[in-house]
Chains A and B, each alone.
Chain A
């Protein structure tokens, strides 16, 4: 790609210079190109395969996502080792306990937060679902005749899909986080909780700026950032509505806390006359001392910073003696399926503070990227909560999109046992007959065969014979050869096709380990003991290892 781009194919909208500030032109939202597919709006039931295959075949995506996540994961480990050393695990325990305790008494703490926030002059609203949350926000915008909205990063507004609704009512809405801004003008969507544009490169970013703002093409990150800064400053100066999310609600002070690095969060919550925060009910924590713990864990888990550059604690709108700040501060508390997850069996999942550490640690996320999860929340935590938000039958691939290696659990600053719950969801899928009949029959037969020595041996024999035959047919195992180091089982037919198309398996040896042991070792060392062992049947103990 060269720096001298030919003019973009779509006609560039007229750039809006500062001098045009007074010109009251009705805002027309630039629409996406025809045939555009929004990455986070998918048809249900969702199948992961198409996007996962596409992602694994995309070397650039692999490179960017792997590099960024690997680096962040390493940084997280390094800084926690430096700061907390052996106390790291206890800190995770404490942070997890704080969230769990608050969730166990969520009615109490949320009530306390609301009373304190109202005493500080905050207007609190209650949204049962996405539609109600958006409609409350539109009403606030309408009542205040808002024409231009600047928006900070918020995953909840991705959940409710707020932006098109504000635009449709005639309130121009601009994402101000650099990554989100570029995604917005490029009609794309975030693929990582913390670094939304992880899947996109500088060329695509620069092209998007050229197309949307009519600026000359330049793909230096510094230049892209400066162009966006200048453009968005013009927006802050004119905006009458600011929208943010919320990282924490502090119950006994009524505060909302947001953690950002760029400063757009402070602008969006300070410059416009009206501030509206979209916050999930699970964000509440008891007091400021708990905020200390959560803040100490959040940024370090996320990017390895001691704190995000700006940790902004907002306690009510502008006070009478203060010089600036919003005249009105609204908080929309959002349920949108959270009370379903709040039941005892799944409550722990709501501890999540959206740090993204589990995404960074996950070998599956690194291969398939965020959009393959087909929902707002991706990675291990997304695989867990998306099926609960949207229905297990709608997202039955997600609980399977994990190797259960446990890296997510080790990385989680609030100790959510993600692998445990993924297994639980898989169990629920089999129990709820969401898993297909052939699979269910297979699991039944497998489980039954493991319970009895005869069927276990029979199964083992059948498996060995089948795979050896397959290896012989494909020529990787020579006739009479017991085991071949060069022999890998590839592209087997039938029920193992899916398995072997993605990974190779060594050819099984002619005899199992136990047969070999009995024959070569035990008898020769102590024939009597071997006899006794055989008579007692102890030699038939089930192996702990999986069959393949």
Chain B
């Protein structure tokens, strides 16, 4: 095919108005009208699987383990030491860190450096480039969901999209207070924020990167991290 065949501007593009005219014809609407009945109500009694009265920490740990993540419950005082041990176990040489919302993690970077492990300043380079040759990403989370063992990682000034995606190992710090009962609770929380102020990326993470494309055999770590450690801090 001739590559230049695509360069000419051919037929004029379909406009929003033309596009909608076809939809309205199919719907037999003369003009776009607001729905005469409200959108279906999502009844809590029906859709919710987990309530605030449930043991959320236990449920979260159970569900996160079930989808293949490695969960430990620790106290805040052990946080730095536990991360250090994990990094030694995987023989990490270079890591990326973003734990700004966890006050108990103050001094984490220094303690990692004292072990001779490089803490890469991902924020100094635009995009994901600085993260490809690292051994682990250590992050806090914006929330966690007990129902499904899910972690919510959003992008913002202090959080790259890549920390929970690019390195082969993801170590996440989840505080007891971060754990919401149900998926419904996370979206309810977000409804309080105007969409124009939503993070451009909200990743709900439920397990290590997985595929079963080849003969149904489960393989982890196909693009994202193959190992996800969750440290649940039970006293904050």
Using a CB–CB cutoff of 8 Å, the interface residues on chain A facing chain B are: 64, 67-68, 71, 83-84, 87, 90-91, 94, 97-98, 101-102, 104-108, 110-111, 114, 116, 119-120, 124-128, 132, 135-136, 138-139, 142, 165, 168-170, 176-179, 182, 195-197, 201-202, 205, 221-222, 224-226, 228-229, 232-233, 236-237, 252-255, 261-264, 266-267, 269-271, 281, 286-293, 295-296, 303, 305-319, 321-325, 329, 333, 335, 339-340, 342-344
Contact in complex: B222, A229 (CB < 8 Å)? yes
Select the stretch in B71-79, B87-95, B101-109, B145-153 that faces chain A.
B145-153
27 A-B pairs in the complex with CB atoms less than 8 angstroms apart: A106-B23, A128-B18, A128-B22, A178-B211, A178-B222, A195-B212, A221-B217, A221-B219, A222-B219, A225-B211, A253-B195, A263-B165, A270-B128, A289-B42, A290-B40, A295-B183, A309-B67, A309-B207, A309-B224, A313-B201, A315-B198, A316-B200, A322-B199, A323-B122, A323-B123, A325-B200, A329-B200
Contact in complex: B20, A67 (CB < 8 Å)? no
Closest to B68 in A: A309
Q: Does B100 contact A (CB under 8 A)?
A: no
Contact in complex: B32, A309 (CB < 8 Å)? no
Contact digits for B14-39, partner A, Cβ 8 Å, 1 yes 0 no = 11101110111111110011110101
Contact in complex: A324, B127 (CB < 8 Å)? yes
Q: How near does chain B come to A362, taking the closest CB pair, in angstroms?
A: 18
Partner of B223, one of A263, A288, A291: A263
Q: How near does chain A come to B208, taking the closest CB pair, in angstroms?
A: 7
Q: Does B7 contact A (CB under 8 A)?
A: yes
Q: Does B84 contact A (CB under 8 A)?
A: no
Chain A contacts for B20, CB-based, 8 A: 107, 110-111
Contact in complex: B126, A135 (CB < 8 Å)? no
Partner of A270, one of B19, B165, B187: B165
Chain B contacts for A120, CB-based, 8 A: 195-196, 198
- Once the chains are docked, how many angstroms separate the CA of A166 from the CA of B95? 37
12 A-B pairs besides A253-B198, A270-B128 with CB distance below 8 A are A64-B216, A94-B46, A101-B40, A138-B6, A168-B3, A229-B222, A233-B132, A290-B42, A295-B183, A306-B149, A322-B157, A325-B201
Contact in complex: A311, B206 (CB < 8 Å)? yes
- Once the chains are docked, how many angstroms separate the CA of A156 from the CA of B222? 24
- Once the chains are docked, how many angstroms separate the CA of A321 from the CA of B156? 7
> Given that A225-B222, A287-B39, A307-B206 are contacting pairs, would A142 and B6 also be in contact in the complex, using a CB cutoff of 8 Å?
yes
Which B residues from 99 to 145 make CB contacts under 8 A with A?
122-123, 126-129, 132
Partner of B214, one of A205, A305, A309, A340: A205
Contact in complex: B40, A323 (CB < 8 Å)? no
| Number of A-B contacts defined by CB within 8 Å | 294
- Once the chains are docked, how many angstroms separate the CA of A64 from the CA of B216? 9
Using a CB–CB cutoff of 8 Å, the interface residues on chain B facing chain A are: 1, 3, 6-7, 10-11, 13-16, 18-20, 22-29, 32-35, 37, 39-40, 42-43, 46-47, 49, 63, 67, 122-123, 126-129, 132, 147-150, 155-157, 159-162, 165, 182-184, 187-188, 190-191, 195-196, 198-217, 219, 221-225
- Once the chains are docked, how many angstroms separate the CA of A259 from the CA of B191? 21
Q: How near does chain A come to B39, taking the closest CB pair, in angstroms?
A: 4
Contact in complex: A83, B14 (CB < 8 Å)? no
Contact in complex: A324, B210 (CB < 8 Å)? no
- Once the chains are docked, how many angstroms separate the CA of A333 from the CA of B210? 29
Contact in complex: A94, B14 (CB < 8 Å)? no
> Given that A169-B3, A309-B205, A309-B209 are contacting pairs, would A321 and B165 also be in contact in the complex, using a CB cutoff of 8 Å?
no
Contact in complex: A94, B22 (CB < 8 Å)? no
Q: How near does chain B come to A354, taking the closest CB pair, in angstroms?
A: 17
- Once the chains are docked, how many angstroms separate the CA of A515 from the CA of B19? 64
Q: How near does chain B come to A359, taking the closest CB pair, in angstroms?
A: 15
Contact in complex: B3, A312 (CB < 8 Å)? no
Contact in complex: A270, B201 (CB < 8 Å)? yes
Chain A contacts for B202, CB-based, 8 A: 312-315
Q: How near does chain B come to A343, taking the closest CB pair, in angstroms?
A: 5
Chain B contacts for A252, CB-based, 8 A: 195
Residue from B40, B203, B213 having most chain A Cβ neighbours under 10 A: B213
Contact in complex: B123, A71 (CB < 8 Å)? no
Contact in complex: A128, B19 (CB < 8 Å)? yes
Q: How near does chain A come to B195, taking the closest CB pair, in angstroms?
A: 4
- Once the chains are docked, how many angstroms separate the CA of A37 from the CA of B140? 50
- Once the chains are docked, how many angstroms separate the CA of A527 from the CA of B1? 85
- Once the chains are docked, how many angstroms separate the CA of A144 from the CA of B149? 40
Partner of A323, one of B15, B157, B196: B157
